[in-house]
């Protein structure tokens, strides 16, 4: 009798734990991943279980997901032994393919509002800097970066066939980082979005001298695509009954965690557009 009671309790516990198992809400997909439980490719808005078997159509296919506890995950083929493969197909269980994403929300380096940038190295960083759309205007401090006909900002990078130098256009103390002006050839962009290893200089034309501020990869993102990601996330935030302010914080942190450094004002505007009709 005691053994039967114990077995029943263990079964009940297993049912409860299974019911509480995390599921993954798919936010974006790069490449093609087939959920073998449905036989269909993963698409934004799909919900998958940890036990779902996924077939990756290439080693580079990956997805971004948010779990039922609102953790953020990348879903990609694990670098593991050959037991994951079946007839040369790239297979993995969802819980094996899911890796938690470390929070990088601290990358927001200045408060939102019309402010002057006093440190371009801190603002742009030394890794990837994401520009929402094809153009970004940045107001610089006149004390640290005076702009006039003899003082300006120059970008230099190695294009496919030559070294390219571009003087940034400016109005008053506001510089314009314009993809159409600084990219010499579409072939200079990696994956159509990234201008790698861009050296940013402060240039003095009278002295014919320059000082390196930073070197960074400039990544031009499709802002409409990012907004679509936000729109997939918003129903989850409504489900959690988050206030509009909490939802805005979550979306901003999502961007910093998934992508990285960007202009806080541009991100603030995009988040507000996505939350235009939000009510918890």
* 3-state class percentages of the chain: helix first, strand second, coil last, to nearest 5: 30, 35, 35
Mean pLDDT of 114-118: 85
Pick left, alpha or beta for residue 101 (phi over 0 → left; psi -120 to 50 → alpha; otherwise beta): beta
Percentage of the chain with pLDDT > 90?
Answer: 80
Q: How far apart are CA 174 and CA 144, in angstroms?
A: 13
- CA torsion sign for 214, 216, 220, 221 is negative
- What is the reported pTM? 0.85
Token digits for 175? 């510089």
Which of the two residues, 103 and 248, has the higher pLDDT score? 248
Q: What is the pLDDT of residue 15?
A: 38
- Run of H or E residues at 212: strand 209-221
Q: pLDDT tens digits, residue range 17-52?
A: 444 578 999 999 999 999 999 999 999 999 999 999
176 beta partners:
137, 169
- Does the structure show a pLDDT above 60 at 146? yes
Residue 82 tokens read as 């050959």
Predicted pLDDT of residue 4: 46
pLDDT digits (tens, 9 = 90+) for 177-210: 999 999 999 999 999 999 999 999 999 999 999 9
Task: Report domain extents, the chain.
Answer: 21-100, 103-280
Average pLDDT of the chain?
89
């Amino acid at each position: 009798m005691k053994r039967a009671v114990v077995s029943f309790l263990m079964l009940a516990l297993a049912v409860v734990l299974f019911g509480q198992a995390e599921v993954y809400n798919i936010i974006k997909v790069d490449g093609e991943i087939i959920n073998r439980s449905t036989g269909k490719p993963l698409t934004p808005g799909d919900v998958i279980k940890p036990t779902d078997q996924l077939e990756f159509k290439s080693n580079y296919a990956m997805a971004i997901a948010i779990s039922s506890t609102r953790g953020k995950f990348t879903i990609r083929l694990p670098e593991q032994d050959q037991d994951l493969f079946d007839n040369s197909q790239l297979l993995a269980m969802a819980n094996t393919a899911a890796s938690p994403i470390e929070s990088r929300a601290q990358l927001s380096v200045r408060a939102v509002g019309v402010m002057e940038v006093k440190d371009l190295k801190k603002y742009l960083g030394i890794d990837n800097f994401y520009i929402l759309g094809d153009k970004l205007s940045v107001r610089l401090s006149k004390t640290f970066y005076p702009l006039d006909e003899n003082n300006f900002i120059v970008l230099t990078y190695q294009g496919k066939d030559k070294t390219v130098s571009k003087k940034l256009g400016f109005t008053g103390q506001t510089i314009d980082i314009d993809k159409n002006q600084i990219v010499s050839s579409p072939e200079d962009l990696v994956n159509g979005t990234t201008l790698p290893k861009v050296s940013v200089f402060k240039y003095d034309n009278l002295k014919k001298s320059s000082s390196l501020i930073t070197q960074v990869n400039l990544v031009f993102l499709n802002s409409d695509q990012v907004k679509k990601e936000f729109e997939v996330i918003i129903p989850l935030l409504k489900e959690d009954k988050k206030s509009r302010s909490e939802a805005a914080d979550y979306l901003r942190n999502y961007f910093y965690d998934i992508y990285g450094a960007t202009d806080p004002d541009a991100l603030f505007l995009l988040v507000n557009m996505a939350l235009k009709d939000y009510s918890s």
